[in-house]
Structure 1
Protein backbone atom coordinates (compact mmCIF):
# COMPACT_ATOMS: atom_id res chain seq x y z
CA UNK A 1 0.00 0.00 0.00
CA UNK A 2 1.19 3.54 -0.85
CA UNK A 3 2.00 5.69 2.19
CA UNK A 4 -0.35 8.62 2.70
CA UNK A 5 2.33 11.27 2.25
CA UNK A 6 3.09 9.93 -1.27
CA UNK A 7 -0.54 10.40 -2.17
CA UNK A 8 -0.37 13.99 -0.91
CA UNK A 9 2.74 14.62 -3.02
CA UNK A 10 1.10 13.18 -6.13
CA UNK A 11 -2.03 15.29 -5.59
CA UNK A 12 0.10 18.41 -5.05
CA UNK A 13 2.11 17.77 -8.25
CA UNK A 14 -1.10 17.18 -10.20
CA UNK A 15 -2.58 20.41 -8.80
CA UNK A 16 0.50 22.44 -9.71
CA UNK A 17 0.62 20.93 -13.21
CA UNK A 18 -3.09 21.61 -13.70
CA UNK A 19 -2.76 25.18 -12.49
CA UNK A 20 0.20 25.78 -14.80
CA UNK A 21 -1.66 24.29 -17.78
CA UNK A 22 -4.72 26.42 -17.03
CA UNK A 23 -2.64 29.56 -16.63
CA UNK A 24 -0.75 28.90 -19.88
CA UNK A 25 -3.93 28.18 -21.83
CA UNK A 26 -5.52 31.38 -20.52
CA UNK A 27 -2.39 33.34 -21.45
CA UNK A 28 -2.33 31.96 -25.00
CA UNK A 29 -6.03 32.73 -25.47
CA UNK A 30 -5.58 36.22 -24.00
CA UNK A 31 -2.70 36.97 -26.40
CA UNK A 32 -4.82 35.85 -29.35
CA UNK A 33 -7.71 38.06 -28.18
CA UNK A 34 -5.34 41.01 -27.86
CA UNK A 35 -3.97 40.38 -31.37
CA UNK A 36 -7.54 40.39 -32.75
CA UNK A 37 -8.36 43.58 -30.85
CA UNK A 38 -5.17 45.22 -32.11
CA UNK A 39 -6.09 44.26 -35.66
CA UNK A 40 -9.51 45.84 -35.23
CA UNK A 41 -7.86 49.00 -33.91
CA UNK A 42 -5.38 49.03 -36.81
CA UNK A 43 -8.19 48.74 -39.35
CA UNK A 44 -10.02 51.57 -37.60
CA UNK A 45 -6.93 53.80 -37.76
CA UNK A 46 -6.44 52.94 -41.43
CA UNK A 47 -10.07 53.87 -42.09
CA UNK A 48 -9.63 57.11 -40.16
CA UNK A 49 -6.59 57.98 -42.27
CA UNK A 50 -8.53 57.30 -45.47
CA UNK A 51 -11.38 59.50 -44.23
CA UNK A 52 -8.88 62.27 -43.45
CA UNK A 53 -7.57 62.04 -47.00
CA UNK A 54 -11.14 62.22 -48.36
CA UNK A 55 -11.41 65.71 -46.87
CA UNK A 56 -9.13 66.84 -49.70
CA UNK A 57 -11.66 66.04 -52.44
CA UNK A 58 -11.46 68.77 -55.06
CA UNK A 59 -8.03 70.07 -54.08
CA UNK A 60 -5.59 70.09 -56.99
CA UNK A 61 -2.80 67.56 -56.66
CA UNK A 62 -4.81 65.30 -54.37
CA UNK A 63 -6.86 63.49 -57.06
CA UNK A 64 -4.76 60.31 -57.06
CA UNK A 65 -4.57 60.15 -53.27
CA UNK A 66 -8.33 60.66 -52.92
CA UNK A 67 -8.96 57.86 -55.44
CA UNK A 68 -6.63 55.57 -53.50
CA UNK A 69 -8.37 56.47 -50.25
CA UNK A 70 -11.71 55.59 -51.82
CA UNK A 71 -10.32 52.22 -52.88
CA UNK A 72 -9.08 51.62 -49.33
CA UNK A 73 -12.44 52.40 -47.77
CA UNK A 74 -14.24 50.24 -50.35
CA UNK A 75 -12.29 47.07 -49.51
CA UNK A 76 -13.28 45.28 -46.30
CA UNK A 77 -10.83 42.86 -44.67
CA UNK A 78 -13.18 39.92 -44.12
CA UNK A 79 -11.55 37.23 -46.23
CA UNK A 80 -7.89 36.49 -46.95
CA UNK A 81 -8.20 37.78 -50.53
CA UNK A 82 -9.88 41.01 -49.40
CA UNK A 83 -7.18 41.44 -46.79
CA UNK A 84 -4.46 41.13 -49.43
CA UNK A 85 -6.24 43.67 -51.64
CA UNK A 86 -6.58 45.99 -48.68
CA UNK A 87 -2.84 45.68 -47.90
CA UNK A 88 -1.98 46.59 -51.50
CA UNK A 89 -4.36 49.56 -51.41
CA UNK A 90 -2.94 50.74 -48.08
CA UNK A 91 0.62 50.51 -49.39
CA UNK A 92 -0.33 52.47 -52.52
CA UNK A 93 -1.98 55.12 -50.36
CA UNK A 94 1.06 55.32 -48.09
CA UNK A 95 3.41 55.77 -51.06
CA UNK A 96 1.16 58.45 -52.56
CA UNK A 97 0.97 60.27 -49.23
CA UNK A 98 4.75 60.26 -48.96
CA UNK A 99 4.93 61.98 -52.34
CA UNK A 100 2.40 64.58 -51.20
CA UNK A 101 4.05 65.33 -47.88
CA UNK A 102 5.87 68.20 -49.56
CA UNK A 103 2.59 69.75 -50.75
CA UNK A 104 1.73 73.03 -49.00
CA UNK A 105 -1.84 71.80 -48.43
CA UNK A 106 -0.50 68.96 -46.25
CA UNK A 107 -2.04 69.36 -42.82
CA UNK A 108 -1.33 68.31 -39.29
CA UNK A 109 -4.41 66.06 -39.56
CA UNK A 110 -2.72 63.91 -42.19
CA UNK A 111 0.51 63.82 -40.26
CA UNK A 112 -1.19 62.80 -37.03
CA UNK A 113 -3.30 60.20 -38.88
CA UNK A 114 -0.08 58.69 -40.26
CA UNK A 115 1.45 58.63 -36.78
CA UNK A 116 -1.63 56.91 -35.34
CA UNK A 117 -1.50 54.30 -38.13
CA UNK A 118 2.19 53.69 -37.46
CA UNK A 119 1.57 53.26 -33.73
CA UNK A 120 -1.42 50.94 -34.27
CA UNK A 121 0.63 48.91 -36.76
CA UNK A 122 3.49 48.52 -34.27
CA UNK A 123 1.16 47.50 -31.45
CA UNK A 124 -0.55 44.97 -33.72
CA UNK A 125 2.79 43.54 -34.85
CA UNK A 126 3.94 43.15 -31.25
CA UNK A 127 0.76 41.34 -30.20
CA UNK A 128 0.83 39.04 -33.23
CA UNK A 129 4.48 38.20 -32.55
CA UNK A 130 3.68 37.33 -28.93
CA UNK A 131 0.58 35.30 -29.87
CA UNK A 132 2.46 33.33 -32.52
CA UNK A 133 5.29 32.64 -30.09
CA UNK A 134 2.84 31.46 -27.43
CA UNK A 135 1.48 28.84 -29.81
CA UNK A 136 4.76 26.93 -29.62
CA UNK A 137 4.80 26.61 -25.82
CA UNK A 138 4.89 22.97 -24.78
CA UNK A 139 1.62 23.17 -22.85
CA UNK A 140 -0.12 24.93 -25.76
CA UNK A 141 1.02 22.17 -28.10
CA UNK A 142 -0.11 19.43 -25.69
CA UNK A 143 -3.51 21.09 -25.27
CA UNK A 144 -3.75 21.50 -29.07
CA UNK A 145 -4.45 25.23 -28.76
CA UNK A 146 -2.83 25.92 -32.12
CA UNK A 147 -5.57 23.87 -33.78
CA UNK A 148 -8.37 25.51 -31.82
CA UNK A 149 -7.26 29.13 -32.12
CA UNK A 150 -6.87 30.78 -35.53
CA UNK A 151 -3.30 31.94 -36.14
CA UNK A 152 -3.06 35.74 -36.09
CA UNK A 153 -1.64 37.26 -39.24
CA UNK A 154 0.66 40.22 -39.69
CA UNK A 155 -0.44 43.15 -41.82
CA UNK A 156 2.13 43.64 -44.54
CA UNK A 157 1.86 47.41 -44.85
CA UNK A 158 4.56 50.03 -45.08
CA UNK A 159 5.29 52.26 -42.14
CA UNK A 160 3.66 55.60 -43.01
CA UNK A 161 6.07 57.56 -40.81
CA UNK A 162 9.53 57.55 -42.34
Structure 2
Protein backbone atom coordinates (compact mmCIF):
# COMPACT_ATOMS: atom_id res chain seq x y z
CA UNK A 1 0.00 0.00 0.00
CA UNK A 2 2.90 2.38 0.62
CA UNK A 3 3.86 2.09 -3.07
CA UNK A 4 0.49 3.60 -4.05
CA UNK A 5 1.19 6.68 -1.93
CA UNK A 6 4.65 7.00 -3.50
CA UNK A 7 3.17 6.64 -7.00
CA UNK A 8 0.53 9.32 -6.31
CA UNK A 9 3.23 11.65 -4.93
CA UNK A 10 5.40 11.13 -8.04
CA UNK A 11 2.50 11.70 -10.42
CA UNK A 12 1.50 14.83 -8.49
CA UNK A 13 5.07 16.17 -8.58
CA UNK A 14 5.44 15.51 -12.32
CA UNK A 15 2.06 17.10 -12.99
CA UNK A 16 2.91 20.17 -10.94
CA UNK A 17 6.26 20.55 -12.73
CA UNK A 18 4.61 20.17 -16.15
CA UNK A 19 1.95 22.74 -15.27
CA UNK A 20 4.58 25.16 -13.98
CA UNK A 21 6.68 24.72 -17.13
CA UNK A 22 3.75 25.24 -19.49
CA UNK A 23 2.72 28.37 -17.60
CA UNK A 24 6.27 29.70 -17.70
CA UNK A 25 6.69 29.08 -21.43
CA UNK A 26 3.35 30.73 -22.22
CA UNK A 27 4.17 33.69 -19.98
CA UNK A 28 7.54 34.22 -21.68
CA UNK A 29 5.91 34.15 -25.11
CA UNK A 30 3.27 36.64 -23.96
CA UNK A 31 5.99 38.94 -22.60
CA UNK A 32 7.88 38.72 -25.89
CA UNK A 33 4.71 39.76 -27.79
CA UNK A 34 4.12 42.63 -25.37
CA UNK A 35 7.74 43.76 -25.67
CA UNK A 36 7.44 43.69 -29.46
CA UNK A 37 4.35 45.88 -29.30
CA UNK A 38 6.22 48.30 -27.02
CA UNK A 39 9.20 48.34 -29.39
CA UNK A 40 6.95 49.14 -32.34
CA UNK A 41 5.35 51.94 -30.34
CA UNK A 42 8.76 53.45 -29.53
CA UNK A 43 9.84 53.14 -33.17
CA UNK A 44 6.66 54.92 -34.26
CA UNK A 45 7.22 57.60 -31.62
CA UNK A 46 10.75 58.16 -32.93
CA UNK A 47 9.45 58.50 -36.49
CA UNK A 48 6.84 61.00 -35.31
CA UNK A 49 9.58 62.97 -33.54
CA UNK A 50 11.51 63.13 -36.81
CA UNK A 51 8.37 64.27 -38.66
CA UNK A 52 8.32 67.38 -36.46
CA UNK A 53 11.29 68.60 -38.52
CA UNK A 54 9.45 68.71 -41.86
CA UNK A 55 10.70 71.63 -43.92
CA UNK A 56 13.89 72.22 -41.95
CA UNK A 57 17.10 72.20 -43.99
CA UNK A 58 19.20 69.08 -43.55
CA UNK A 59 16.26 66.92 -42.45
CA UNK A 60 14.92 66.01 -45.90
CA UNK A 61 16.31 62.46 -45.96
CA UNK A 62 15.43 61.71 -42.34
CA UNK A 63 11.87 62.98 -42.80
CA UNK A 64 11.40 60.93 -45.98
CA UNK A 65 12.65 57.83 -44.20
CA UNK A 66 10.43 58.52 -41.19
CA UNK A 67 7.45 58.69 -43.54
CA UNK A 68 8.42 55.32 -45.00
CA UNK A 69 8.70 53.86 -41.49
CA UNK A 70 5.25 55.08 -40.50
CA UNK A 71 3.75 53.83 -43.78
CA UNK A 72 4.91 50.23 -43.38
CA UNK A 73 2.98 48.04 -40.93
CA UNK A 74 4.67 44.96 -39.47
CA UNK A 75 1.94 42.38 -39.88
CA UNK A 76 3.37 39.95 -42.44
CA UNK A 77 6.90 38.62 -42.77
CA UNK A 78 7.57 40.73 -45.86
CA UNK A 79 6.22 43.89 -44.23
CA UNK A 80 8.36 43.18 -41.21
CA UNK A 81 11.49 42.90 -43.37
CA UNK A 82 10.63 46.16 -45.13
CA UNK A 83 10.06 47.83 -41.78
CA UNK A 84 13.45 46.61 -40.51
CA UNK A 85 15.18 48.04 -43.61
CA UNK A 86 13.34 51.35 -43.20
CA UNK A 87 14.21 51.54 -39.49
CA UNK A 88 17.89 50.85 -40.22
CA UNK A 89 17.95 53.52 -42.94
CA UNK A 90 16.32 56.00 -40.58
CA UNK A 91 18.85 55.19 -37.84
CA UNK A 92 21.74 55.78 -40.26
CA UNK A 93 20.22 59.06 -41.47
CA UNK A 94 19.78 60.27 -37.89
CA UNK A 95 23.44 59.48 -37.13
CA UNK A 96 24.51 61.72 -40.00
CA UNK A 97 22.61 64.75 -38.68
CA UNK A 98 24.49 67.59 -37.06
CA UNK A 99 24.46 66.86 -33.30
CA UNK A 100 23.96 70.55 -32.45
CA UNK A 101 20.71 71.08 -34.35
CA UNK A 102 17.53 72.27 -32.70
CA UNK A 103 15.62 69.32 -31.30
CA UNK A 104 18.69 67.14 -30.83
CA UNK A 105 17.62 66.37 -27.26
CA UNK A 106 14.23 65.11 -28.45
CA UNK A 107 15.82 62.81 -31.02
CA UNK A 108 18.42 61.60 -28.54
CA UNK A 109 15.70 60.80 -25.99
CA UNK A 110 13.66 58.97 -28.65
CA UNK A 111 16.76 56.97 -29.65
CA UNK A 112 17.40 56.04 -26.01
CA UNK A 113 13.82 54.82 -25.62
CA UNK A 114 14.12 52.78 -28.83
CA UNK A 115 17.40 51.25 -27.65
CA UNK A 116 15.92 50.31 -24.29
CA UNK A 117 12.77 48.82 -25.84
CA UNK A 118 14.93 46.91 -28.34
CA UNK A 119 17.08 45.46 -25.56
CA UNK A 120 14.06 44.44 -23.50
CA UNK A 121 12.45 42.81 -26.53
CA UNK A 122 15.65 40.96 -27.39
CA UNK A 123 15.95 39.64 -23.83
CA UNK A 124 12.36 38.40 -23.75
CA UNK A 125 12.66 36.76 -27.18
CA UNK A 126 15.88 35.05 -26.11
CA UNK A 127 14.22 33.69 -22.96
CA UNK A 128 11.08 32.59 -24.82
CA UNK A 129 13.08 30.80 -27.50
CA UNK A 130 15.21 29.07 -24.85
CA UNK A 131 12.09 27.96 -22.96
CA UNK A 132 10.84 26.17 -26.06
CA UNK A 133 13.65 23.63 -25.73
CA UNK A 134 12.83 22.59 -22.16
CA UNK A 135 12.16 18.82 -22.05
CA UNK A 136 8.57 19.21 -20.84
CA UNK A 137 7.87 21.88 -23.49
CA UNK A 138 9.22 19.60 -26.22
CA UNK A 139 7.32 16.59 -24.88
CA UNK A 140 4.07 18.58 -24.77
CA UNK A 141 4.85 20.03 -28.24
CA UNK A 142 4.45 23.62 -27.12
CA UNK A 143 6.65 24.77 -29.99
CA UNK A 144 3.85 23.74 -32.39
CA UNK A 145 1.13 25.50 -30.43
CA UNK A 146 2.95 28.78 -29.71
CA UNK A 147 4.36 30.90 -32.56
CA UNK A 148 8.11 31.37 -32.27
CA UNK A 149 8.98 34.96 -31.27
CA UNK A 150 11.19 36.76 -33.78
CA UNK A 151 14.04 39.15 -33.17
CA UNK A 152 13.96 42.58 -34.75
CA UNK A 153 17.07 42.99 -36.88
CA UNK A 154 17.50 46.71 -36.37
CA UNK A 155 20.60 48.70 -35.58
CA UNK A 156 21.14 50.09 -32.12
CA UNK A 157 20.40 53.81 -32.48
CA UNK A 158 22.91 54.75 -29.77
CA UNK A 159 25.98 53.33 -31.55
TM-score band, normalised by shorter chain: over 0.9
Which one of 95, 112, 120 corresponds to residue 117 of structure 2?
A: 120
SS in 2 for 1:100: coil
Match of 1:143 in 2: 140
Root-mean-square deviation (Å): 0.8
Structure 1 runs of 4+ off > 4 angstroms? Answer: none
Match of 1:55 in 2: 52
Whole-Å separation in 1 of the counterparts to 2:96 and 2:16? 55
Tell me how far 1:88 sits from its aligned partner: 0.1
Whole-Å separation in 1 of the counterparts to 2:98 and 2:20? 48
TM (norm. structure 2) is: 0.98
Match of 2:3 in 1: 6
Of structures 1 and 2, the larger Rg is shown by 1
CA deviations 1:31-80 (Å, max 9, x no partner) are: 00000000000000000000000000010000110000000000000000
Tell me how far 1:102 sits from its aligned partner: 2.7
Number of corresponding residues: 159
Q: Unpaired segments of 5 or more residues in structure 2? A: none
TM (norm. structure 1) is: 0.96
CA deviations 1:94-114 (Å, max 9, x no partner) are: 000000143523421100000
CA distance 1:58–1:33, shift in 2 (3 Å): same
Q: Unpaired segments of 5 or more residues in structure 1? A: none
